[in-house]
A and B are shown apart, each in its own frame.
Chain A
């Protein structure tokens, strides 16, 4: 192994070492503050290791991993999301009875799994990354052990995710049987040649089922509302962003390698998934009185929008997907950050009633949530708009009129429930209601970050766009 390769793999090693160190630390002495500091330090060190690493020309580390510009972008995004999760979780965990320190270990494991995912070029590393991500998430979803909902969420996620992993592995086996290789390039080459055999097709379909489950696109979305509702708020933010984002990144890497993709049977499959997700997500979200469930269904819809970009063929595809994902990361971290910050000792602040008149009680937090909702709704001057604009542009450039029209119509449906939450924020709470007094932790200041990024990327996305376009060109 050369020095360059060691440098390239350094962030992975930093994260792995940090976990071991923290586990040992917990065994010696339980200290929430110390664990928190160590975890933050580990993530910052990993980010620095990425940024100060070798210039991001592609570095293949064994056939399994590649650290190219594209991977670096997502690794940094994922690590920063982890960092943000730590910042807002501290106060949340402080208020609870459970053991606090293991939370950080589990998140670090999940982060390691995710960055392996985005750098993977091989089905084996893909599976390894995905499983270390998922296994940590099972435990995280059930982290509030004393809450029945949380426990239920953990079990549900475990059973269904294990089931989907079985699909995935079987699909991988079938694909390997046909292609004779597990490398993405070989599989992509096979997919691009016309006349694929039934075994290969079945394998690909099973893999897509596994991926579709992780992304919670229709019809593999059954778990999402219950898990979002039951799992602790910071964990939900983490699942929504890091887990889905990393899997989308892999999917995009695969798509990028299948150049001549149009015309085969999988395209139709993806169109169906995209359209169904947009409609089902937006329609079901209309009926929710629980903010976490509402965001769960809305995230199904957003994955549908993202699939429209995946389907596009032109040069805009990668930019659209990457920018949309970036905006999606920021907005979900912000929204679940708000839920986390407002959550009391007993339960998460997830009922819409909890937000009644928030603007009058706490304009700052209400303002943050307003910006997040406007971005989700795709209103200009937020990153969500630029993302949606790019998806539309990519779709129209590739003449995908049907999905584009569906996107427009379902976006309008989506407005109903985003506006509903907005109205709740700005409606004065009735005087006699037992007002939930929100005590805010220091994490409230961390919420400035997503707001700043969303508005910044919405007003002047130029530099980030240039960066993404350069990634795509490589």
Chain B
């Protein structure tokens, strides 16, 4: 039941904020303020519930890895249930969601001035969709949440975005919707395969695990799932929506896109794509890993070529998410732990960079890197925060991102030395763009004579919290690794047990 509340409190808060922002009793600007405070309060309440689950003992459901669960009947005629459950992996991602949600609300405190109530409704509805994706264990329900997060996100970009917002919003929507429909077709395909084999027609994740599908059809179905996840992640040939959407979205939108929406792709690979079709996944693993490496290198090189600061950060996301794709298809313990930590750290560090870019744009009204410069002396706090997250992004030891990428590389090394070598090149390239980006924006001559206010208390508080999280993940990641471990080993077990022929081959090790 607590899960139900965790998913729907943001939505309820969003509705309330909308109501308060349009029909509320307060006058003028206070109306907008009430919408902001209501959203914030709802997210804080949600965070308390999540932390409560986080600290609590495992409830011992279904082998002990599931910390909480809701399983209600929804459309029994089709075998669809309202089935939510959360294990360590999901819980970490939900925690990230509420954390970044709060950061997004606070960072858009002064940026959004029109239709404030409706803005917060869209923001909170997106968060509900994302949390739903992380906890849904019925494939139909999963798809519903997957699509639900699109519509409000579309509105966020199209209504409050920057200059080319409409084109970016439409592109984002069509990419994700088309790939989503392919996934729906694949889900239905699996549903009928399972139904014909066992006579039980169901969308339940646990029942569908271990469905025997021949390698040929299984590959087709897997490709359907991959379509959705690789577009969201994004992996390289499917990434073109990302720079546009991230750049044109308002700050809160960029934070949620980069910090959370991309993670739904990684989570989908981890939870659904590989465990449901382990053999087919093994078949295409070399290809997927290559795509991951291409993404790492390509994103980094293109980031360096950007002149728009938000676009630059957007391309670094492509590079970092390449590690997630690589790690998932390596599929050994180290790599998977790296994937989870990477998703958390990338969410926080890129989210922070987008918040800073937004704060910068609010002050100087440009995103052109060439026109920036010399801001360090004018706004030292902002410069310091920027430098910190730039270093986090390049994977400096001591920060979480280093742990994550190191673990993925270590895992990859066990499987293929060549792949690990190529992926490691990404670290070098990221140093180039990260240092370049900090150098151009904050150091050098202040040619345009910028005089801007430094970060105010509100923004500083968000930055501090994010810095603390990155350092915590970098210096002492053990509690987070522990939390994810059981969930990951269960995933590995699921993928291994359902191999045909009885002999348990540990996926990944033997290539």
Which residues in A have some Cβ–Cβ distance to B below 8 Å?
363, 374, 377, 379-381, 385, 389, 392-393, 396-397, 404-405, 408-409, 411-412, 415-416, 419-420, 422-423, 426, 460-462, 465-466, 469
Contact = CB atoms under 8 A, between A and B. Distances in A.
Contacts of A460: 74
Interface string B172-184: 0110011001101
29 contacts: A363-B22, A377-B177, A379-B150, A380-B143, A380-B144, A389-B184, A392-B188, A393-B188, A396-B189, A397-B188, A411-B177, A411-B178, A411-B181, A412-B178, A412-B181, A415-B170, A415-B174, A416-B170, A416-B174, A419-B169, A419-B170, A419-B173, A420-B170, A426-B155, A460-B74, A462-B75, A462-B76, A462-B77, A465-B77
A392 B184 contact: yes
Given A380-B143, A381-B148, A416-B170, A469 B177 contact: no
Given A393-B188, A396-B185, A426-B159, A408 B148 contact: no
A399 B188 CA distance: 11
B166 interface: yes
Given A374-B151, A426-B155, A396 B188 contact: yes
Nearest to B151: A379
Contacts of A412: 174, 177-178, 181
Interface of B: 22, 74-78, 143-144, 147-148, 150-151, 154-155, 158-159, 166, 169-170, 173-174, 177-178, 181-182, 184-185, 188-189, 191-192
A465 B78 CA distance: 10
Contact of A408 (B147, B170, B185): B185
Contacts of A461: 75
A422 B182 CA distance: 24
B464 to A, nearest CB: 36
A422 B154 CA distance: 10
Contacts of A426: 155, 158-159
A469 B78 CA distance: 11
Given A415-B174, A426-B155, A469-B77, A408 B181 contact: yes
B192 A396 contact: yes
B200 to A, nearest CB: 15
B185 A423 contact: no
B205 to A, nearest CB: 18
Contact of B148 (A380, A420, A423): A380
Given A380-B144, A415-B173, A423 B181 contact: no
Contact of B147 (A380, A411, A465): A380
> Quick one: which of A363, A377, A380 has the most chain B CB within 10 A?
A380
A10 B245 CA distance: 59
A381 B151 CA distance: 11
Contact of A466 (B22, B77, B148, B170): B77
B158 A381 contact: no
Contacts of B174: 412, 415-416, 419
Nearest to A411: B181
Nearest to A458: B144
> Quick one: which of A385, A389, A465, A469 has the most chain B CB within 10 A?
A389
A261 to B, nearest CB: 20
B155 to A, nearest CB: 7
Contacts of B158: 422-423, 426
Contact of A397 (B76, B166, B192): B192
A465 B185 contact: no
Given A392-B184, A411-B178, 5 more contacts: A379-B150, A380-B144, A416-B170, A426-B159, A466-B77
